[in-house]
Structure 1
Amino acid sequence: MRYVIIGAGAVGGTVGGRLAEAGHDVVLVTRGAHAAALRGGGLRLRTPEGARTHRLPVVEHPAELGELRGDDILFLAVKTQDVTAALDAWGGRPVAGGGTAAEKLPLVCAQNGVESERIALRRFRHVYGVCVWMPASHTEPGAVSAAGSPHSGMLHIGRYPAGTDDTARRIAADLEKSRILAPVVADVLRWKYAKLLANLANSVEAVTGPISGDDARNLYARARAEGEAALTAAGIAWVGDEEQRQARADHIRFDPFDGSPRVGGSSWQSLDRGTGSIEADYLNGEIALLGRWHGVPTPVNDALQRVANTCARERRPAGSMTVAELAREIDGG
């Protein structure tokens, strides 16, 4: 199988690099300065074992790849706010032997939140959800850092909305051989909703910096309490903390390879790179949506969504607010 990694950032770059190291056929899809750096100097993947460079095919647009192969796996690793544009670009591409990508090829969705798979299933017939747990970062063109050890991450994978099949098991086997744990689960949404609750901290981290003090932890606890109340009102199940701990156990540890602390998560990295967008609509905004549907107040998540979007739109630096300033926005807004 050939893996077409659509979005070669922190997650996509790590997955693509690890798959290539294990001998798999990989194409990276990205654009702008990152694409230019990858073409000029290759993908610089830094892990606890050391740094190495992978010179892989890089395209910015599907037309550059030509006709897709019947054994292609489309691994979608862009942020949720960029999913629709990616599906517009790739869904209608012809596949060798007839049909289009949307009709024939597996689409693997590796985003935070729970919306990307639903967007994809409107167009693609074969959609797979992934719950991503991977301490990786991408803050400079051409480079990706993955600090997980001895595995780079854990990607629970299953058919969307539920079930498993041979394709999921083949993808999982390839990932496992590439130092990425990939449990195949029939209830991938239950894992993704658990990750959604954890990701409610992303906006706090993005606008104030690493969550370390009691005040920041309290803001996250309040956001999570709203999230759990909204999920409960909607009748949505999620994996509990103990089940997550047992699944991960000692399989992955954070092992900084240069002695430095880990940079922030995906939302922090969006602000750090000045992308102009952030995933808050699909994290805090998902809880706000469920709250409005089911009559659960979500003032903390409403405020976090608003503040994070403002910071992204105005291209404010990551960590540009204090926790006290953010608390005032939440409690006074």
Structure 2
Amino acid sequence: MRYIIIGAGAIGATIGGRLAESGTESVLVARGPHAAALRANGLRLTTADGTRVHRLPVAEGPADLGELRPDDVLVLAVKTQDAVTALDTWAAAEVAGGGTAAQRLPVVCTQNGVEAERLALRRFDRVYGVCVWLPSSFLEPGAVEALCAPLTGMLHVGRYPSGTDVTAGRIAEDLAKAGFEAPVVEDVMRWKYGKLLHNVANAIQATTGPEPHPAKALLAARAVAEARAAFAAAGIPVVTDAEQSAARDGKIVPPPGVRGGSSWQSLRRGTGTVEADYLNGEISLLGRLHGVPTPVNDTLRHAANIFAREGLPPGAMSIADLTVLADEAVTRR
């Protein structure tokens, strides 16, 4: 199979680069200065094993590849706020032998949150979810870091909305060859909802900085408590903390030091958008649908979006000020 990585950022480029190292064909899809850097200098991928440069094919869209191949796998690795544009672009691409990508090819969703799979299933016949545990950084064109060891990351793979099949197994085998642990699971969304409990804190890190602080942990715990209440009201099953620890402990160990996560990186790169609508916003949506108050998540979503729209630098807000805003939102309920 050939993997077309739609969105060669921190996650996409790490997966594409690692696949290439293991001898699996992959193509990086990128735009602007990042695409130019990848074409001119290759992908500079730094992992716990060191830095390597990969000279992979680079495309900006389906037209750069001509007809897609029947053995292609589309890996959707853009942020969720960019998913509709990417899905529409690639769904209509023609596949050799007839038909479109939406009709004939699998699309694999690697986003944080749980919305990308739903967006994909509106367009594609075959959709797969991946729960991504892959701490990585993308801060400059052409360069990505993924420094965990002994494994680069863990990628639970399954059909959406549930189940497994031969394709899921083949994808998992290729990922395992590339240095990831890739369990095939019947209930991939249960894992993704569990990951979302961690991701609701992304907005705290983005707005107040990645450095640990007791007040940040307390605010994050309040956001998680709202999320758990919303999941319970909606009847959504979630993996337990014990299941997650058993799966990851000792396998994905980050290096010493503090690094910013995906939302912090979006602000650092000045992308103008952030994924809070699909992280904290997912909790807000469930709360409104099922009568569960979510003022902390409402506040975090709002604050992160202001930072993105106004181009504010990550970490420019104090945790004290952010907590005051959350407290005020609670009082207004």
Bucket of the pairwise TM-score, normalised by the shorter protein: over 0.9
In the other structure, the counterpart of 1:38 is 38
- Residue 224 of structure 1, CA deviation: 0.4
Q: Is 1:310 paired with 2:299?
A: no
Q: Unmatched 5+ residue regions in structure 2? A: none
In the other structure, the counterpart of 1:320 is 316
Q: 2:146 and 2:109 mapped to 1: Cα distance?
A: 20
In the other structure, the counterpart of 2:58 is 58
| Runs of 4 or more above 3 Å deviation | none
In the other structure, the counterpart of 1:273 is 269
Give 1:63's aligned amino acid. A
- Residue 251 of structure 1, CA deviation: 1.5
The 10-residue stretch of structure 1 (206-215 or 84-93) with the greater mean CA deviation from structure 2: 206-215
SS in 2 for 1:316: coil
Residues 149 and 252 in structure 1, CA contact (< 8 A), matched pair in contact too:
yes
Q: 2:258 and 2:126 mapped to 1: Cα distance?
A: 35
Give 1:224's aligned amino acid. V
- Residue 330 of structure 1, CA deviation: 1.7
- CA RMSD of superposed structures (Å): 0.8
- Residue 82 of structure 1, CA deviation: 0.4
Q: Is 1:172 paired with 2:168?
A: no
Q: Is 1:295 paired with 2:291?
A: yes
Residues 160 and 188 in structure 1, CA contact (< 8 A), matched pair in contact too:
yes
SS in 1 for 2:129: strand
Q: 2:262 and 2:146 mapped to 1: Cα distance?
A: 13
SS in 2 for 1:145: strand
Give the % identical residues. 63
TM-score relative to the length of structure 1? 0.97
Give 1:34's aligned amino acid. H
Q: 1:50 and 1:251 mapped to 2: Cα distance?
A: 18
Paired residues, number: 329
Give 1:25's aligned amino acid. E
- Residue 211 of structure 1, CA deviation: 4.8
SS in 1 for 2:52: strand
In the other structure, the counterpart of 1:74 is 74
Q: Unmatched 5+ residue regions in structure 1? A: none
Alignment of 1:80-159 (within 5 A): 80-159=80-159
- Residue 262 of structure 1, CA deviation: 4.1
TM-score relative to the length of structure 2? 0.97
Residues 129 and 188 in structure 2, CA contact (< 8 A), matched pair in contact too:
yes
In the other structure, the counterpart of 1:264 is 260
